[in-house]
Amino acid sequence: MNTFYQKVMVDERIGYMFSHIQGSHWQKYLEKMYRFWESNIFDVDSYQGNPMLQHIEV
């Protein structure tokens, strides 16, 4: 996840969509993404967000 998002941050096509996430907020965002993937891959109930709504807003 960390390596992936390091690439996302500087990606010329999508990096700007994440430019509002600054400093320690990246850590919070990454922790949310860990929970998202953990919930999906390992069937752990640690993420309760709504990604579809988030992406519609983006």
Q: Which of 29, 31, 44, 46 is in the footprint of ligand HEM by CB under 6 A? A: 29
- Say whether residue 7 binds ligand HEM (CB under 6 A): no
Residue 42 DSSP SS3: helix
Q: How far is the CB of 14 from ligand HEM (least distance, A)?
A: 4
How far, in Å, are 1, 27, 29, 35, 41 from residue 7 at the CA level?
10, 15, 15, 20, 22
Query: Contact residues for ligand HEM (CB under 6 A)?
Result: 14, 17-18, 21, 29, 32, 36, 49, 51, 54-55, 58
